[in-house]
Amino acid sequence: MSTGEKFTVGLVQMTLVPDLDQNLRRAIQLAEGAAKDGARIVCLPELFRSQYFCQREDAASFDLAEAVPGPSTAALAPVARDRRITLIVPVFERRAPGLYHNTAAVIGPDGKLAGLYRKMHIPDDPGYYEKFYFTPGDLGYRAFDTDVGRIGTLICWDQWYPEAARLTALRGAGILFYPTAIGWHPREKAELGAAQRDAWMTIQRSHAIANGVYVAAVNRAGLERPRGGDGIEFWGSTFLCDPFGVVTAQGSTGREEVVLGEVDPSRIEEVRRGWPFLRDRRIDSYADLDKRFIEGP
């Protein structure tokens, strides 16, 4: 994506409700609106069909999963085809009985499925019990060709891992999209909230800088308590940053909206010429990265 004309991306920040069909209809409306406003690539947030069910372990939530291709991709494919856009559609994928993934489906401007990315890093933290639901991805780090250049998709917890961003960028992706569901535990927000959100933005901006790529983080917004309790207040803040980490577009912390941002492919070339991190990598010295931890002196 080092040459070509500037184009717009549409980052759909949603507030999700218990009704799955209502969420799908709203996603279609917002994606179509983004396309009307000029977006060539539109990304929906992680697991957009439902409220964030991973706040607790409940086997009944497996009923939310669907095949890919399936209902969500079938409903959104006509939007991609009719509007001539690329759509990133994150789904709870039912691959086989008892086998589920947290997946991003990429639908091309022809309305056909261009490929899948399955979330590689699966968290297990208070309120984010994803290891109960999702098998780690087995497709590796992928890049997809679109009519405006090559893009990569990673998902939420992946955004904390520099290796994931690097390997996706090395496959030629000029934009890394991170569909996301992240927020505050209400009891912690006053004390830790500002630092948590700042760390989330900082790590993703660092991926942009280290790899000379655009990064788009697409979060949901609003308080969700699908099974009672304190719930999670998703902090929105959907943003796009350029290859030097400059935030060029950002959403609010609390409301549903489409964040539109401009991507200039020539900016990748410009930044990488001045800051040639890929050129100066010592690939002969990184063998130990495949170890969990390096013991000894």
CATH classification code of 7-278: 3.60.110.10
Q: Is 130 a catalytic residue?
A: no
Task: Give percent of the chain with pLDDT exceeding 90.
Answer: 96
Q: Is 156 a catalytic residue?
A: yes
Q: What is the DSSP string of 17-35?
A: -S-HHHHHHHHHHHHHHHH
Task: Return the number of other C-beta atoms located less than 10 Å from residue 275's C-beta.
Answer: 15
| Buried/exposed 206-243: b ≥16 CB within 10 Å, e otherwise | ebbbbbbbbbbbbbbbbebebeeeebbbbbbbbbbbbb
Q: Which entry of 46, 66, 93, 130 is annotated as an active-site residue?
A: 46
Question: Please, what is the Cα angle at 81 between 80 and 85, to 5 degrees?
Answer: 45
Q: pLDDT tens digits, residue range 69-124?
A: 999 999 999 999 999 999 999 999 999 999 999 999 999 999 999 999 999 999 99
Q: Is 32 a catalytic residue?
A: no
Q: pLDDT tens digits, residue range 153-186?
A: 999 999 999 999 999 999 999 999 999 999 999 9
Domain locations along the chain: 7-278
Q: pLDDT tens digits, residue range 3-38?
A: 689 999 999 999 999 999 999 999 999 999 999 999
Nearest C-alpha neighbor of 41 from the set 260, 225, 266, 268:
260
Q: Which entry of 66, 119, 233, 241 is annotated as an active-site residue?
A: 119
Q: How confident is the model at residue 230 (pLDDT cuts 50, 70, 90)?
A: very high
Euclidean distance between CA atoms 211 and 159, whole angstroms: 14
Tokens at 83, concatenated? 């509007």
Torsional sign, CA 212, 257, 71, 76:
negative
- 7-13 and 257-263: which strand pairing? antiparallel
Q: Which entry of 32, 66, 93, 156 is annotated as an active-site residue?
A: 156
